[in-house]
Structure 1
């Protein structure tokens, strides 16, 4: 009853609001003799310099932009090498702009439409990293994210503002994939068709409260009518080779934009581990297990992205998008040699282990959007439907042999494990944008989502006589979740102030059921998620303030209640009793001249979900368990500069110093343990544009992280230095790139867990030093090919 009343109220709020009107901007482009300029490029920019729309003048030099929302805009007209820009104009009604005068017009023979943007743009709720025309654009998207200001990658996990709860979006659509599969998708996708990376540090109420912060990968659209495409090839050499090849296709018509890109990746990865664990008996050290392990993976992945935008008429538009990945016949061979000694160093036994894992994974996320521009002052109604299908099949064989000596804590056996997880996710959302006045806009909307996850497992061959270990022989775990959400937000700007206020409400029903134990967990909860961002700008000074509250629900793989072997003395298990985590974040920024920035921040989290490894001293095994931390406190200060030091050198430099404290319950003693540290993060990104024709790009990136923590583990410091080059030729239709990551091979991880009866040291050595070589060739209609004298050609009509 409460839920029905809640939904009814939200529906009434959404559909009883009044609607408003679209505006038209038009004008004339003339030369210094007051003659009209035909086929001049005209683009509409936001106050922050973002591209909104583009067109060309007709044979009378006339241009027009329709369906424009009230805001402040600039208009830029260009012809050959000449450019003119209008003053910033606030649009509150349809308007004709004063004629734009281009000096010294010439015949239009061949023009490339380009727009120079700063590489880093600071906005109230996000910062935007423009990657076009940098040495990074021939790499893959994962490499670009690792170099994006404000983003840190540690242990193949993304961190923003110190939080690993980061969601990935592509063109505003969330990618619903587990972390490992997101990495596979992004490493197999070329960055050459990425326009920018938006790091949303204060997500508006429109977005789901689920997860932490947002990274939105904005893909390019074809600004020139007709068809063009590209072929790309990327080779990476570490200890083992990796290879990606693919193609992009773009088509733009009068009312249709279509793009697709396909890539195939074959990655072979190599990792070495050294693990030393000291086990205890009756509170005293008893045995030392030293394991040398090696992992070799062989993965093939097909990635396909489709984007279609159709303008049905001046008021209606639909969009279709799909992101799919298929990784068949993946394989990982994990071998280990473990020596067991007593505390005096006397040899007791040697174990040999071999874990052979085969996998097949498929994911497809599909979206349908409809946008209707209402008939009053630019009001807009939009509806989105989304469906994701995910299937992960794993087949695993674990062999364990005692090649020397004897230990009672393990036995010789061969384990066979088969598991499958299928996830179906559906969501629908309706949003209404309503200008309230010249300076304020309201957004409100409703969302419903249903999720079903079915996980199954079959294990055989394990020794069930060992106490404390109870691997799941077979089982099916079914999990269902329903989410009902609504939000309202107001965006206001007046004089030098901007304010965004939002409130999101969510009601959640969950049920998890394990068939063989008749185990059922159910929960329902209702939450409010406020957010606010505010800015004040005066001359060269800007002040920002932001606050938000977020929720992180347990990942579907983490709540599976299965216990299964990773090796003879290591076990992984899920936790169906995981609680949702909540986060409250506040930040204050000061920016001078758009280039210099200082900010202070604080974040409090409760019930944060982490996977921790702890040693079971009764069975001499290592257990990987998902738990809820009691609390996490995270606060600190950042100072950064992003500036063109010369005409060819752009610098981004960051110093971040923060305190991180995790509190958790020890599973053996039930006592609260605190792990805390002060950490310093340094980053320097240098981007160079070289040669007279600006056809050579270079970037030098340095990252340093002092000792840090995560849950019960403490990580030693590490650093990385990378160098990349990109050279264009053939009139910029082709490019070659090459680079080296982690030149001095200092990017490996070393961690310790040392408290109470836990004593473990782990060294992880991945392929961090990599040589990368790439080639890209563009073809098709990449330029406007027309002539001043030929006013009415078909190409002119297409534009």
Structure 2
């Protein structure tokens, strides 16, 4: 969508100047902090999570994951006082106070085994098993103590996974969630809502795939692949659960799960309802730089009150025709009929000497309705020689309506009213995602062989209407748009892997042909793209002993926008700032 140059010039200049200043501070004064994470027996703890916190209120600043040998490294740490702590599957070290004045290397952060005392009998919880494979880490949680938590809590405790600002990260980068090797077509907020309400007892294992192999889409980034378990007992089992959390506002949820199994049929159905009222406060300080230094300082206090009602449901049906043929249907639905948000922002603007120049306040109300429904149909055939053929079809339908009213008032330093600025937006988005995939794997002697083909199609339609509300209602065409985006990706891949006593190797190649078209009514342009790319991958693992290993991985990737990025929607803070 075309942007108004005058309208965006000031915000873009602000962002540019701020980025230059931030970059200067970060790289000019950054230090490294390194060390190890060990258990009480002085053994390295592989893939432990390590966090750097403020000393004033223990606010999380940044995090990283230890490698296979328990070693960790932070870069570009500013001079100052910090707390350092580590965690691993629910265990947390004590906060270690540090003063960073130069590159610093500590000895080790020690994790103690937690134990519970019951009438002079010490009960130590069984740990889930962590297994290192050539291209991934497998975290087996079935029938362990943490399987009683929600799926979201299990992912938070998965080795090598960090949670920062309610977002899951691997190697300090945002990650994509899969369930049974099928991509979950949800935004990060929607994934959190889905997994918070999905019972952990349904999970067999979590696979942390830092650099996905050729069988996965070539889009860059890591993957968290959730492998679900099946109800092994013939008959019916069900449960009802409820949760309550007290924060600034109370939050609660209600859910129910049902399992039914016969000799050939396996059914798993779940439903959860989660009404929420949340409060967020953000304090922001922005220094605008000029040739002589700081020319203006903006201090912003931003309050958000968000109310939402979310219904989530899941259905899994497996039918075994015989020992060799299985048909499965999986569906997830996230229905959010109501999400209202009240935003209030107060910004003071000072000159370089700290004298108040002006201030403004903004009140904003946002109303949103969202539906996301997906389904997978999968047929799996096992050949006599242990080979497998899998055929899958997937469909996702996403629908979003969003309305926003924004009202800003500007004042002199003495409080005298200068002017106001009022506007509203109406937005609508509809997206359909369709995929079809065939995969085959078998052993060629002692070498494991995988191959497959996949086609995926995205059809996105977005509409944004912008209205000035200063003197009546006036439609603004150059800030409005109808935008359509279509994308087709045709892919094929193969991979070979082999295991020896202490060595494992895997290599593969993926080929993708991409066709995309974007049409903007506002600027009357069509952007067509067509390109073919090859994506090689290679993995090497050497197990030195039971506690130490060395690994190497390489995979070429491409960056594509997620479906929530394919729309022109703006959530406005005020008329010059949006996200």
Question: Can you list the C-alpha shifts for 1:83-114, whole angstroms capped at 9, x where unaligned?
Answer: xxxxxxxxxxxxxxxxxxxxxxxxxxxxxxxx
Partner residue of 2:334?
A: 325
Q: Please say if 1:571 is aligned against 2:578.
A: yes
* From 422, 432, 444, the counterpart of 1:414: 422
Partner residue of 1:555?
A: 562
Tell me the CA shift for residue 555 of structure 1: 2.6
**Inter-CA distance 559–322: structure 2 relative to 1 (3 Å threshold):** closer
> Does the Cα contact within 8 Å between 2:283 and 2:299 map onto a contact in 1?
yes
Q: Please say if 1:501 is aligned against 2:507.
A: yes
> Does the Cα contact within 8 Å between 1:167 and 1:211 map onto a contact in 2?
no
Question: Can you list the C-alpha shifts for 1:143-182, whole angstroms capped at 9, x where unaligned?
Answer: 3322221011223332212322x11011222101122222
**Inter-CA distance 400–406: structure 2 relative to 1 (3 Å threshold):** farther
Tell me the CA shift for residue 226 of structure 1: 0.9
Tell me the CA shift for residue 563 of structure 1: 6.3
Partner residue of 1:154?
A: 164
Q: TM-score, normalised by structure 2?
A: 0.72
| Structure 2 CA distance for aligned equivalents of residues 180 and 406 of structure 1 | 42
> Does the Cα contact within 8 Å between 1:260 and 1:305 map onto a contact in 2?
yes
| Structure 2 CA distance for aligned equivalents of residues 273 and 460 of structure 1 | 28
* From 102, 121, 139, the counterpart of 1:129: 139
| Structure 1 CA distance for aligned equivalents of residues 433 and 521 of structure 2 | 22
Matches within 5 A, 1:500-649: 500-537=506-543, 540=546, 542-561=549-568, 565-572=572-579
Partner residue of 2:399?
A: 391
Matches within 5 A, 1:15-94: none
**Inter-CA distance 495–278: structure 2 relative to 1 (3 Å threshold):** closer
| Structure 2 CA distance for aligned equivalents of residues 488 and 293 of structure 1 | 51
Q: How many pairs are equivalent?
A: 449
| Structure 2 CA distance for aligned equivalents of residues 462 and 556 of structure 1 | 31
> Does the Cα contact within 8 Å between 1:472 and 1:563 map onto a contact in 2?
no
| Structure 1 CA distance for aligned equivalents of residues 244 and 142 of structure 2 | 21
| Secondary structure at 1:184 match in 2 | helix
Partner residue of 1:28?
A: none
Q: Please say if 1:446 is aligned against 2:453.
A: yes
| Secondary structure at 1:149 match in 2 | coil
Tell me the CA shift for residue 197 of structure 1: 1.9
Partner residue of 1:163?
A: 173
| Structure 1 CA distance for aligned equivalents of residues 252 and 259 of structure 2 | 24
Partner residue of 1:292?
A: 301
* From 424, 427, 432, the counterpart of 1:424: 432
> Does the Cα contact within 8 Å between 1:410 and 1:568 map onto a contact in 2?
no
| Secondary structure at 2:220 match in 1 | coil
> Does the Cα contact within 8 Å between 1:364 and 1:390 map onto a contact in 2?
yes
| Structure 2 CA distance for aligned equivalents of residues 196 and 380 of structure 1 | 21
> Does the Cα contact within 8 Å between 2:277 and 2:305 map onto a contact in 1?
yes
| Secondary structure at 1:145 match in 2 | helix
Tell me the CA shift for residue 556 of structure 1: 3.5
Q: Please say if 1:206 is aligned against 2:232.
A: no
Partner residue of 2:152?
A: 142
* From 428, 441, 457, the counterpart of 2:464: 457
> Does the Cα contact within 8 Å between 1:256 and 1:311 map onto a contact in 2?
yes
Q: TM-score, normalised by structure 1?
A: 0.53
**Inter-CA distance 324–547: structure 2 relative to 1 (3 Å threshold):** same
> Does the Cα contact within 8 Å between 2:377 and 2:393 map onto a contact in 1?
yes
| Structure 1 CA distance for aligned equivalents of residues 539 and 353 of structure 2 | 61
| Secondary structure at 1:552 match in 2 | coil
RMSD value over aligned CA atoms?
2.7
Q: Please say if 1:434 is aligned against 2:442.
A: yes
Partner residue of 2:51?
A: none
| Structure 2 CA distance for aligned equivalents of residues 191 and 297 of structure 1 | 27
Partner residue of 1:197?
A: 206
**Inter-CA distance 223–462: structure 2 relative to 1 (3 Å threshold):** same
**Inter-CA distance 558–463: structure 2 relative to 1 (3 Å threshold):** farther
| Secondary structure at 1:551 match in 2 | coil
Tell me the CA shift for residue 501 of structure 1: 1.7
Q: Please say if 1:378 is aligned against 2:386.
A: yes
| Structure 1 CA distance for aligned equivalents of residues 454 and 256 of structure 2 | 35
Partner residue of 1:7?
A: none
* From 264, 267, 270, the counterpart of 2:273: 264
Tell me the CA shift for residue 344 of structure 1: 3.2
| Structure 1 CA distance for aligned equivalents of residues 419 and 477 of structure 2 | 15
Tell me the CA shift for residue 208 of structure 1: 1.3
Question: Can you list the C-alpha shifts for 1:568-588, whole angstroms capped at 9, x where unaligned?
Answer: 44134xxxxxxxxxxxxxxxx
| Structure 2 CA distance for aligned equivalents of residues 296 and 506 of structure 1 | 44
Partner residue of 1:338?
A: 347
Matches within 5 A, 1:712-723: none
| Structure 1 CA distance for aligned equivalents of residues 566 and 313 of structure 2 | 30
> Does the Cα contact within 8 Å between 1:506 and 1:526 map onto a contact in 2?
yes
| Structure 1 CA distance for aligned equivalents of residues 566 and 490 of structure 2 | 21
| Secondary structure at 1:516 match in 2 | coil
Tell me the CA shift for residue 250 of structure 1: 1.0
> Does the Cα contact within 8 Å between 2:210 and 2:221 map onto a contact in 1?
no
Partner residue of 2:16?
A: none
Partner residue of 2:487?
A: 481
| Structure 2 CA distance for aligned equivalents of residues 494 and 291 of structure 1 | 59
Partner residue of 1:274?
A: 283
Question: Can you list the C-alpha shifts for 1:713-749, whole angstroms capped at 9, x where unaligned?
Answer: xxxxxxxxxxxxxxxxxxxxxxxxxxxxxxxxxxxxx
| Structure 2 CA distance for aligned equivalents of residues 190 and 259 of structure 1 | 12
> Does the Cα contact within 8 Å between 1:307 and 1:322 map onto a contact in 2?
yes
| Secondary structure at 1:210 match in 2 | coil
Tell me the CA shift for residue 303 of structure 1: 0.7
Tell me the CA shift for residue 129 of structure 1: 2.3
Partner residue of 1:224?
A: 233
| Structure 2 CA distance for aligned equivalents of residues 161 and 534 of structure 1 | 18
Matches within 5 A, 1:343-358: 343-358=352-367
| Structure 2 CA distance for aligned equivalents of residues 501 and 341 of structure 1 | 58
Tell me the CA shift for residue 529 of structure 1: 1.2
* From 294, 307, 310, the counterpart of 1:301: 310
> Does the Cα contact within 8 Å between 2:345 and 2:573 map onto a contact in 1?
no
Tell me the CA shift for residue 387 of structure 1: 0.6
| Structure 1 CA distance for aligned equivalents of residues 276 and 148 of structure 2 | 18
| Structure 2 CA distance for aligned equivalents of residues 370 and 303 of structure 1 | 25
Larger radius of gyration: 1
